[in-house]
């Protein structure tokens, strides 16, 4: 009785190897006999080619009309979302042409962003830095300041500081950071002495950038804090980034003339590393996230981060680790990095 029950169970619950092989052979015959398998899905294949071109030659998309090129580059990693859609459609259409063409955008995307998927953070480092756009309308400046300071950073940069709340940030950070400086709406707090602090003109008419020399135990480091102009997407004007682009050029020029060998830039640049309009800065500095981060490190908007527009960039300094911090009452996530001097 036991043997009969076991035999029935095996036959009913498991597909025999012979039957499975027969089904696979039958499927193979149907596919070989399907003469339309290569003719179907031509339009889907063309969509894959177009997606490949947009990602692969994004630098050639002109900015003359609505800064379209910069807009595409801001959200370039998200173009990967089209790949599973095209995959499902290719399978539904049973199109070998569409499936083969889909390899093109997959390879290009992995070549561009595959390195960001893995964790590149390492041990060591002499200096930990953090930066945060605190949001001028932040309802809890004290809590936000304490949360960023809790990262253990030696140097903290804050942007979008409203004049009425500067004293609250100063008071909240005083115990951990004996040295600080505020210029306009940006500020720098440090465990080490500051010197040669001054505003940086980024062509805005008021101060939203500064630089200071931080005297670390490993030597001097020039630290820049910047908050470039905001950008908007408008139906009648496209990607309104011209003022930001001009400010980025001015910031890049200031950094290029910096006499201190080791430079760290902290701030809200309102742009990603892929955006060609920030070349004046990105061409001469390294992103800590790209060199030593874990994932994309998106920082905005805090509720559903879609782009890394807050940056920690270095020159003459070796990134060791880079990460995002927990959300505060700002619409940006704070970010931090550990570097070796």
Domain check: are 142 and 216 in the same one?
Answer: yes
83 domain residue, yes or no: yes
Read off the CATH number of the domain in which 298 is found.
Answer: 3.60.10.10
pLDDT at 1 over 60: no
pLDDT in tens, 108-136: 999 999 989 888 999 999 999 999 999 99
Q: Domain residues for 250?
A: 127-340
pTM greater than 0.85:
yes
Pairing of strands 219-227, 127-133: unpaired
Same domain, 104 and 152: no
Of 85, 114, 143, the position where a domain reaches its end is 114
What is the pLDDT, as a whole number, of residue 27? 53
Same domain? For 90 and 143 the reply is no
CA atoms of 98 and 42, how far apart (whole Å):
7
Domain membership of residue 18 (yes or no) is no
Cβ count within 10 A of residue 147? 19
Is 52 domain-assigned?
yes
The domain boundary residue, chosen from 51, 86, 114: 114
Number of domain units in the chain:
2
Quote the CA–CA distance of 58 and 53 in Å, as a whole number: 7
pLDDT in tens, 270-285: 999 999 999 999 999 9
Residues 185 and 306 in one domain: yes
Kindly state whether residues 55 and 156 are assigned to the same domain: no
Share of the chain above pLDDT 70, in %: 89
User: What is the pLDDT averaged over residues 170-185?
Assistant: 97
Q: Per the domain annotation, does 27 fall within a domain?
A: no
Domain stops at, among 114, 139, 169? 114
Among 20-29, 243-252, 293-302, 309-318, where is mean pLDDT lowest? 20-29
- Between the CA of residue 88 and those of 41, 45, 55, 84, 164, what are the distances in Å? 12, 13, 20, 6, 54
Q: Are residues 81 and 182 in the same domain?
A: no
77 near 108, Cβ under 8 Å? no
Residue 1 lies in a domain: no
Query: pLDDT digit string (tens) for 258-268?
Result: 999 999 999 99
Residue 257 belongs to a domain: yes
In a domain, 336, yes or no: yes
In which band, very low, low, confident or very high, does the pLDDT at 232 lie, cut at 50, 70 and 90? Answer: confident
- 149 and 101 inside one domain: no
Q: Are residues 81 and 181 in the same domain?
A: no
């Amino acid at each position: 009785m036991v043997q009969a029950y076991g035999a029935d169970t095996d036959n009913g619950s498991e597909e025999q190897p012979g039957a499975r092989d027969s089904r696979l052979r039958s499927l193979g015959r149907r596919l070989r006999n399907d003469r339309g398998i290569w003719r179907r899905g031509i339009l889907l294949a063309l969509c894959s080619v177009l997606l490949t071109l947009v990602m692969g030659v994004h630098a050639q998309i002109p900015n003359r009309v609505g800064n379209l090129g910069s807009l595409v580059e801001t959200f370039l990693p998200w173009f990967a979302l089209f790949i599973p859609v095209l995959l499902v459609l290719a399978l539904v259409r049973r199109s070998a042409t569409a499936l083969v063409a889909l390899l093109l955008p997959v390879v290009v995307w992995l070549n561009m962003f595959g390195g960001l998927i893995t964790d590149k953070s390492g041990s060591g480092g002499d200096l930990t830095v953090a930066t945060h756009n605190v949001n001028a309308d932040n309802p809890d400046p004290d809590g936000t300041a304490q949360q960023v300071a809790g990262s253990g950073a030696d140097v903290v940069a804050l942007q979008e500081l409203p004049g009425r709340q500067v004293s609250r940030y100063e008071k909240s950070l005083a115990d951990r950071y004996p040295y600080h400086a505020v210029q306009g709406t940006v500020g720098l707090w440090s465990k080490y002495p500051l010197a040669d602090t001054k505003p940086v003109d980024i062509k805005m008419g008021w101060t939203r950038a500064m630089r200071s020399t931080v005297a670390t135990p490993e030597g001097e480091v020039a630290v820049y804090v910047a908050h470039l102009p905001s950008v908007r997407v408008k139906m009648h004007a496209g990607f309104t980034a011209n003022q930001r682009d001009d400010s980025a050029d001015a910031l890049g020029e200031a950094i290029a003339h910096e006499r201190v060998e080791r430079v760290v830039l902290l701030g809200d640049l309102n742009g990603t590393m892929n955006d060609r309009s920030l070349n004046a800065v990105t061409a001469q500095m390294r992103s800590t996230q790209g060199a030593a981060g874990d994932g994309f490190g998106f920082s905005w908007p805090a509720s559903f981060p879609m782009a890394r527009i807050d940056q920690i960039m270095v020159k003459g300094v070796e990134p060791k680790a880079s990460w995002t911090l927990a959300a505060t009452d700002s619409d940006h996530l704070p970010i931090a990095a550990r570097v070796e001097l």
